[in-house]
Amino acid sequence: MSCSFLLLGLVTQAQQWSISFGGGSGKNYIEEDAGSEWISYGNPVATHLDLRYRSREQSAWTWIARMQYLNSVRKQTFANSTQIMEGDLASFSYYLLLERDFRVEKKWHSGVYAGMGKTSEYMRLDIVHSGINQNYEAPQQKDFMSIAVGAMVQYVMTPKLSIELSPCFYWFDPVNSIRGFAKNEKFSKGGEDWHAVLQLGLAYRFL
């Protein structure tokens, strides 16, 4: 019994677990926004929650399980019409990321990470005519793979608590994106596209 507790203690001491959360903004649906004069997206609201695991024996690498939320207002106008289609697109993503330390100092840590996961996107659009909202279509949901590539800079305030700044680039539905490029098609409403966000947060090491 004592050997089991000793082994458990050694394994626990050989690992580092931390949790981080934060929020920010950036640019959503970059291709669709730039590719049409009739469609515009507002700056997104971005929030994330990370669970990090690091083995001290491989201290340069960290596994990250991330939950990411993005929400943006979408507005579309029509030529020779007073109608406006507007609404919001929200996405919930779950990623498995691998981070590589780039620089480690007493007070500053930095690294880069990449990974993939699953995204569920929810789109609600209404038609607006003469200032009156009229339901245009039922909310739609899409599920697809997505890719994340980013960087992290941490300022260590205490051995347990750090401030974290993280720019990240997300690629939603890369399979359909590549297929669209091959057929020279424009990106569809929502779905496949690129997103760039900058998030500020706190990281707490609990083990």
> What residue ranges do the domains of the chain occupy?
14-205
In this model, does residue 84 exceed pLDDT 90? Answer: no
What mean pLDDT is reported for the chain? Answer: 83
> pLDDT (tens digit, 9 = 90+) per residue, 90-145?
999 999 999 999 888 889 999 999 999 999 999 887 766 555 555 556 678 999 99
Overall size of the chain counted in residues: 207
CATH top class, domain 14-205: mainly beta
Provide CB contacts within 8 A for 198, sequence distance 6+.
Answer: 24, 25, 26, 165, 166, 167, 168
Percent of residues, the chain, with pLDDT higher than 90: 52
pLDDT score of 124: 82
| Torsion angle in degrees (nearest 10) through CA of 179, 112, 63, 61 | 130
pTM value is 0.84
pLDDT score of 9: 46
- pLDDT higher for 38 or 61? 61
DSSP string for 25-53: EEE-SHHHHHT-SSEEEPPPEEEEEEEEE
Cα 98 from Cα 58, distance rounded (Å): 12
pLDDT score of 139: 76
Cα 170 from Cα 91, distance rounded (Å): 12
Q: Is 164 helix (H, G, I), strand (E, B) or coil?
A: strand
User: What are the tokens at 65?
Assistant: 């399980």
